[in-house]
Structure 1
């Protein structure tokens, strides 16, 4: 695990000086997985043979002195809804338990170009629908800080694996908070980029207007490096933004003097744990000490965000998941009476309860007679939420608040109450609806569990978000705390 505590540049220096080999890095990853994964269950599928083969090839490259990629030799985990050629991609669903893709998603191709090593595929809520990882059809992932608690979701396997030191970094996907919330619960850094900055080609779609891939790392600097590797225009993704990609690492100056911070009163009101609020207020004092200023602001349509999100996301899910019919790929039901019966049985057997719940909600919202009342109205409210952010950003550089209203909750505690579960995303969902970037960084603990600070920025201004996060990190020790498995 000590190897994975080192900064990326330090690891690369050790590789360059031959103090360390890529094979040793990969060995350390699988050794740590063998020691800890029985307890936390982060991985669904391991890529041991392929990873060791790739490591040997990179070690030969080291000997030859060839130019190395940005993430050279670093062991990475991939959320199991991002397709990987020749490596099972299940979305933690029984429906795709036999799905072996014949191509790589764009982000996987970019990681290969940057020469990182894919260690395996990480557990998640089925089809990314959930906030606790309890909706995986295989097994729940557990929080490394306390295995009686959830790691968050849907990228719970990604967050838990990084927090436990199994991989150097991981990729997750964020639709309504699924990178940031598990990062907060597991005490690591999670970045949701601006919608369109990172290609979604090869990401199994949940809600296409919201889904975004991003990194989960131990520190902000690593997050900047991984984002550098995966960001960029992709003609295969019709929603990919053709924008110039800056050098994100140049933003890590530690200087936030004059930074203007807006703090939404809606993010620190009713429902926010007092200990979480205290940690956020302490973080704002750190910023004050660094020369930044903050003021209370309002995002008045925040109260409508949960309802808006679940109408829109569920509607898009019902459309996207229509392709899973037991005919083209995935598991097929046995002995159907006819084609319609094949669809019905395959979908009934293949999807879990939460996926079915959202498909039914979304299909209802899109149905004749209800489209205008629900889906269309939700789209209009989404515009108002986006405008709230735009108005605040006219005067402020970043918006800061908690990532989640509480720390992680116990496994099984909320599984029978979907509405309470949904409310855990009250601070992250508005950001996703607006399509702007946000990062979660550790800012304290409560009762032995981590608290996350969310820093939100203007569209495509990841540099300011990373600068603010890095400055806070450099003047606190919260990111250095690690679970004792």
Structure 2
């Protein structure tokens, strides 16, 4: 990711790309041109003077609008509930300290509750591959990443909010092990709440897995919440045996299944053993538990009706059992593969998600079905990396999978995914 270009040159290229392709995709919706240029000049001056600069010095990035960025508006898609941040969120501060230059903030839906990024203030974020389709949400930065407007985007993920847009736009994303990176100062929770949310995490969207590794390292290594909780170093034993989790439920459309099956054949021909796995907690139980955790998290933020009727402790117990089961499952395979979403990026829609439907193999289903795969895979609180593995035959739109690893083994997971990418087993080349 670092290059020989000066910080000023990198930022000017980013701003030029935003001016060129930004309006078409409508991803970065709040710009800080003056602040970005000032930060770039400061980095260049420090480098010229021989003073130390961070490992990401001069890298232009975007931040999901729901994170606090000092001096900028923070929003969860409702104008009346926006505020101007007086400080950076911890994750933002870590990236800024590493030398990142924040050029702007990316679009989000109302209360971050949609697989689209569409707000009352800014409208729809469009897919760079087909402007009639969504670029994904609730983290709207994938379209900016895919078009080269920014090097990467800091997002967040409760039920697929970095993984789904990454698949829709044909890029990569990392959802960390739950709880190892602070999600403080992130709407819709009030900024003074310090407890770790029970279901959501931060996340990063980047063009390739290789581009995820350095920002991941910065976030893993610098966050205070890591004290006594540091993920173990990457183990460089090549992956030889993977589990594939793709049952009839959750629903997965035929074109997605075909693309994933074709990719699995490529893995088999390369000498990797592929075995089917099905966690015992099952999709129905996982969905019920995770929906309860999401309801509790939203209620604690004071923005979303009533919490799930079950006691939070019962939900946490069910989650702990699923987490233990997941750990045992990964004793037998190196990584688990699962779909990201049942279909490719759908057309943009102005119908509220609770009233909307999506088409899966000619049948209509509630639009929330789009997020079911990410919901059931989030329950185990393990890290996942989203990678492109193919494309739909009829539309050419990208199809991705989640590579899900052991809790705390984020570095190992990213290293393994990067190795596959280096050897052409995953990545955007597979969508062409």
TM exceeds 0.5?
yes
Matched, 1:389 2:330: no
Task: Give matches, 1:61-210, under 5 Å.
Answer: 61-97=46-82, 99-134=83-118, 137-155=121-139, 157-205=140-188, 208-210=197-199
Aligned twin of 1:231? 220
Deviation at 1:216, TM superposition (A): 0.7
Cα pair distance change 1:143/1:212, threshold 3 Å? same
Secondary structure in 1 matching 2:210: helix
Q: 1:318 aligns with which of 278, 281, 299?
A: 299
Please say if residues 431 and 437 of structure 1, whose CA atoms lie closer than 8 Å, have aligned partners that are also in contact.
Answer: no
Matched, 1:449 2:401: no
Deviation at 1:160, TM superposition (A): 1.0
Aligned twin of 2:27? 42
Please say if residues 309 and 429 of structure 1, whose CA atoms lie closer than 8 Å, have aligned partners that are also in contact.
Answer: yes
Deviation at 1:24, TM superposition (A): 1.4
Q: 1:463 aligns with which of 402, 411, 417?
A: 411
Q: 1:407 aligns with which of 331, 344, 357?
A: 344
Aligned twin of 1:304? 285
Cα pair distance change 1:141/1:269, threshold 3 Å? same
Cα pair distance change 1:376/1:229, threshold 3 Å? closer
Please say if residues 144 and 483 of structure 1, whose CA atoms lie closer than 8 Å, have aligned partners that are also in contact.
Answer: no
Distance in 2 (alpha carbons) for counterparts of 1:477 and 1:433: 27
Deviation at 1:241, TM superposition (A): 6.3
Cα pair distance change 1:273/1:179, threshold 3 Å? same
Q: 1:437 aligns with which of 380, 383, 388?
A: 383
Distance in 1 (alpha carbons) for counterparts of 2:63 and 2:244: 33
Question: CA deviation digits over 1:237-268, x for unaligned, max 9?
Answer: 6xx663235566xx6x6x725x32111242x6
List alignment gaps of at least 5 residues for structure 1.
Answer: 1-7, 15-19, 323-358
What's the TM-score once normalised by structure 1's chain length? 0.79
The worse-fitting range, judged by mean Cα deviation, of 420-429 and 43-52 is: 420-429
Please say if residues 197 and 241 of structure 1, whose CA atoms lie closer than 8 Å, have aligned partners that are also in contact.
Answer: no
Deviation at 1:89, TM superposition (A): 1.1
Task: Give matches, 1:313-392, under 5 Å.
Answer: 313-321=294-302, 359-360=304-305, 362-363=306-307, 365=308, 370-371=309-310, 378-392=315-329
Distance in 1 (alpha carbons) for counterparts of 2:429 and 2:66: 29
In terms of fraction of residues, the more strand-rich structure is 2
Please say if residues 398 and 431 of structure 2, whose CA atoms lie closer than 8 Å, have aligned partners that are also in contact.
Answer: no
Secondary structure in 2 matching 1:243: coil
List alignment gaps of at least 5 residues for structure 2.
Answer: 190-195, 358-364
Secondary structure in 1 matching 2:130: coil
Cα pair distance change 1:46/1:438, threshold 3 Å? same
Distance in 1 (alpha carbons) for counterparts of 2:245 and 2:55: 37
Q: 1:256 aligns with which of 235, 238, 252?
A: 238
Secondary structure in 2 matching 1:426: helix
Secondary structure in 1 matching 2:124: coil
Please say if residues 73 and 117 of structure 1, whose CA atoms lie closer than 8 Å, have aligned partners that are also in contact.
Answer: yes
Secondary structure in 1 matching 2:338: strand
Matched, 1:212 2:201: yes
Q: 2:254 aligns with which of 252, 256, 274?
A: 274
Please say if residues 286 and 472 of structure 1, whose CA atoms lie closer than 8 Å, have aligned partners that are also in contact.
Answer: no
Question: CA deviation digits over 1:105-129, x for unaligned, max 9?
Answer: 1111111111010011111122322
Please say if residues 198 and 233 of structure 1, whose CA atoms lie closer than 8 Å, have aligned partners that are also in contact.
Answer: no
What is the alpha-carbon root mean square deviation over aligned residues?
2.6
Secondary structure in 2 matching 1:401: strand
Distance in 1 (alpha carbons) for counterparts of 2:324 and 2:372: 18
Deviation at 1:29, TM superposition (A): 0.9
Q: 1:244 aligns with which of 224, 230, 235?
A: 230
Larger Rg over CA atoms: 1
Deviation at 1:37, TM superposition (A): 1.9
Please say if residues 117 and 135 of structure 2, whose CA atoms lie closer than 8 Å, have aligned partners that are also in contact.
Answer: yes
Distance in 2 (alpha carbons) for counterparts of 1:41 and 1:404: 23
Question: CA deviation digits over 1:75-121, x for unaligned, max 9?
Answer: 00001111111111122221333x11111111111111110100111
Aligned twin of 1:330? none
In terms of fraction of residues, the more helix-rich structure is 1
